[in-house]
Structure 1
């Protein structure tokens, strides 16, 4: 525990989809004075994301789906191209990403490699995201993918040349941070 932080009050503002809390805390500043601060924190649980890549074909598998927050922030269609991802729920990160990969992309993978973990929006969201990469081959495709109907998912599976995906980052077509990070990881580590 950080001795410079004393939480004095927590109020739940919303517990509809995930949990939004208003937290009042005292923070000990460098000058030795305590300061009372108020912040809101959105707790949606932790998640995992993966970049599927094929060395022989030099391709990656990404998804495209509607994301309301991007639509509300000016994305005209609300559609976002992303690496496959999902919330851990009660799973460990490896089991989660294997399940999400099959549900969203239709590929059944067994070996995944964790490459790093990161907070994506630490000023307001509690989530830590576990990043993975995995090789795929055509014979690993066992179902169509597209997500689960009961989760209201309507996901398009995209297999793209790796260089085209990188160009989509440069052009601004891919704007999702986790996807950009995984594509850059693949480039830096010469996975393809």
Structure 2
């Protein structure tokens, strides 16, 4: 048995041998967490090690009555992300994206074409660097000053991702290129929406993306 509780039986892609992306040690995440004295991680199993990682973690949890119970949770780790609300304060417009989202389509969205704020995974970059990259790739906007708003866990019941929220001004004349990364199958359309129309689109369901709704609500309180 190794020092982290694994055995030779545990040798599998992503554990002690590299997975398809060359990663090992994926079963160690969470074992050293010590911030909550009422939680003791006892086992971590990599259930799926595709592009992102699905883990099943077993831990002991001490409830309010003082009793310890064993629980198990699956967590989906796709890394952390960043998003930005691009706005023109003079024209009172918001610059958003429209793209096909299969998970939304398969779960009841009429055509899967979601209107969203620019966003993406950090991929090892600082949040500010990542969102500047995404704004350029998706919308052709070179973002200047960024205003950091807050960091939120978007689906804490099962997804580990923490999203860093930003806002930044843009000018229509600054847009050049965009459309997404073709090699990744992205086909992204820029959408300029008057701010008042954006709120109406939330109300009638034309904007149904959570991070975008949060950003528009922030704008309602702080911008326009």
Given the two structures, how large is their TM-score scaled by the length of structure 1? 0.96
Q: Distance in 2 between matches of 1:131 and 1:181?
A: 9
Going by fraction, where is strand more abundant, 1 or 2? 1
Correspondence 1:12-161 to 2 at 5 A? 12-143=46-177, 145-161=178-194
Stretches of structure 2 lacking an aligned partner (at least 5 in a row): 1-33
Match of 2:10 in 1: none
Q: What RMSD, in angstroms, separates the aligned Cα atoms of the two structures?
A: 0.9
Q: Would the aligned equivalents of 1:64 and 1:157 in 2 still touch at CA under 8 Å?
A: yes
SS of 2:73's partner is strand
Q: Distance in 2 between matches of 1:105 and 1:165?
A: 18
Given the two structures, how large is their TM-score scaled by the length of structure 2? 0.83
Q: Would the aligned equivalents of 1:64 and 1:81 in 2 still touch at CA under 8 Å?
A: yes
Structure number with greater CO (CA < 8 Å, separation at least 6) is 1
Q: How big is the shift at 1:76?
A: 2.3
Moved over 2 A (4+): none
Match of 2:7 in 1: none
Say how many residue pairs are matched: 190
Match of 1:7 in 2: 41
Q: Residue by residue, what CA displacement relative to the aligned partner does 1:14-53 show, whole Å, maximum 9, x if unpaired?
A: 1112000011111011100001111100000000000000
Stretches of structure 1 lacking an aligned partner (at least 5 in a row): none
Q: How big is the shift at 1:101?
A: 0.3
194, 204, 207: which one pairs with 1:174? 207
